Structure 1
Amino acid sequence: MLKKDARLRAFHAVATLGNFTKAADALSLSQQAVSFQIKSLEDEVGNRLLKRQGKNLELTETGEILSRFAKQILDLYSAAEDALGQHTGVVGGSLNIGATGSIAKYCLPAAISEFRKTHPSVSVSVSVSNSGDIADLLAQEAVDLGVISGGPVELSRFIVEPFFDDELVFIAAADNPIVNKQPLSLSELLACQYIIREKGSGTRDLMEGYFRDRGVDLATLPIAAVMGTTESVKASVASSNGIAMVSRLSLGTENVLTILETDLGSLFRSFYIVRLRDSYLRLALDRFVKVLRTSNAFRSIDSVSIE
C-alpha cells in the first residue's frame, strides 16, 4: 500500500467536514494529531490554511488553492494503488464504511471478515450513525461507502444500489402485560408508553410514517424516552413497560423481549448501498461491494428472529 501524505489527508478531511472533531473521527486519529498534521503542512506552505470564524472553520485563500488540488492528489494515490494492485494481484489501501447500528453490529463483521480473507492488505474501518448522518458523511467524503435505509434521506445525489428489505416490528418486555393482549389494535397501541429513537433515525421516520398513515401524529403518542441507539432502546424496553418499534435484524435470541403482533399489517424498509456519483471508484471499494452483496450475513437475514 502506498503511504499517502498524512498531512494532506488531514487537511482534506478538515476542509471537507469543517470541523477538527469530525475529521479526527473520520481518520481514526486524535484531534491533537490532526492539528499537528495541519500545522506541519502550514509550516511547509508558509501560510495559514484555516481560520476560525466564531465556532466555524473557514479556508484561507491559500487553503482554498490547496483544497482544489487535495482531492485530485489523493485520488491519484488511489489510482496508483489500483494500477499496482491490478498488476501484482495485491489490493491495498483503506476503506471507511458508514452504516447504521444494526447493520454495523449484525452484518458488517461477517462481510468484513470474508473480504479480509482475500484482501488482507486492505484496512477497513466502520463509522456508525443514523442514516441521515451517514449520508452526510458520504457527501462530505468522510466515508467511502454507506449502507443506509431510505426514508427521508435524499438519495438522488448518490449512486444507489438496492440491498435488502428489513421488517420493523413492535417489541415489549416478555413480562409486559401488553403481551397477553395480542394481536394489538390501533387503540391498544396508542395507549402504550413508547421508547423511540432520536430525530434523523430511519427507524423513527418510518415509525412516524406508520402512524401518520393511520391518522396518528407521533407527537400525540405517550413518549417515555428518546434514545440514540437501537441497543439503548431495547435495554429500556426490557426494563420497563414501554414498547418500541425496532428492526427485526437487531433482534437476536434475547428471551427478555417479545415481538408484538398487531392487526395493522406489516412494515418493511429498504436498505441501500450508496456511493458518491463523482468519486473515484477504487479497486478495494469495488471488491468490498461485491463481497457485501453475497455475504452470508445478509443471506441469513430472513432467519433472524426471537422467541
Structure 2
Amino acid sequence: MRGIFVAAVLAACQGAIAGEPATIDFERPSIGAGLLPVSETEWPWEHAQENWPVRRGGVVGAIVPKGPAANAGMVIGTIVEKVNRKTVESTDDLLSVYGELKPGDEVPVIFHTYEAAGRNRVRWRKRTEKLKLITYRESLDLRARKWQVDATGATVYDNNSTSESNNVNEVSAMVVESGKNWLPAMRFRCTNKDWLFVKKYTVVVGGDRFVIEPKYDKILRDNDHEDCWEWTIVMADEKDNPENWKMLNAIADARGEVQVVFHGDTYDKTHALSSEERVGIHEMRDLYLSKLSQ
C-alpha cells in the first residue's frame, strides 16, 4: 500500500508553494481519516482485489487515533463507500462533503472492514455507523504525543507515528511549548552497525537542497552491542531559523520523494523518507500553525 499515506493526507493541501505552507482551515469538519480511490491502491494481499466489496470507494490510508473513524472500527485498509449518503473515493471527495456540514454533526457512514481469510485472501464485512465530526484542529491534537523536558520545563509534541527509540533511520518534526511560546523543530536520527560520525545533513526535496551543519556537541551518540546511533534536533522557526522553516514546509508539502544524506567522516548514508515520516512532518507543521492561530 505504498504511497497511500502521503497522497491521502496531502490531497487536502491546496495552493502550496515550495517553502510556504498552504492556507489551512483548522475549523473544517473531519471524520479523522484520509482516503485514496480503490482503483489507485496497491493492496498488500495478493488476492484482495478479486473480491472487492465495492468498485467505487475510498481506501483509508491515514487515520487519527481515537478519532471518529477509528472509534467506529476503521483501520488502514478499510474501504469507505459513502459519507452522509454520498459516494466518496478520495480526501478531495471528503472535503466536498464537509462543505455541507459542520463539526459536531452526526453523519451516516457506510464502510467495509476486513479480516484475513487464509491463502492471502480477506473477508469483507459491510457496516453502517453514525460518526460525530470533529475539527481538523482536534484531529491534529489527537495525532500528537506529548512529553516533558525536565531540565527546561518545556513540553514537546511529536507525531504518534514516529519511533520512540533513537535507534532508527528517521526524520521527524516536533513542536515545542515553552511558556507562551510555540516553536517548530526537526529531528534527524541515523543508525548503523558502526560509527558514521555524522558531520552534517543534506535534505533533498525536488530541486531544492537544504544543508544543516550542527556543532559537533549538538549531535548526540549512543550504542549497544549491535548498533550505533546518532541524532540531533534543530529549531525550525521562521524568525530565527528561516532556512530550516523553509525546509520544514518543503518536506511537509512535497508530492515527490524526499531524501536526507547523513554525511559522515569516511562515507555518506542516504535515507528516503517513508510515507509515515512525511505525513508525520506534515501534521506536526500543521499542529504548530494551529497553535499559533489560537
TM-score above 0.5, yes or no: no
**What TM-score does the superposition give when structure 1 sets the normalisation length?**
0.22
- From the two aligned structures, give the one with the greater helix fraction: 1
Structure with higher RCO (Cα < 8 A, 6+ apart): 1
- From the two aligned structures, give the one with the greater strand fraction: 2
**What TM-score does the superposition give when structure 2 sets the normalisation length?**
0.23
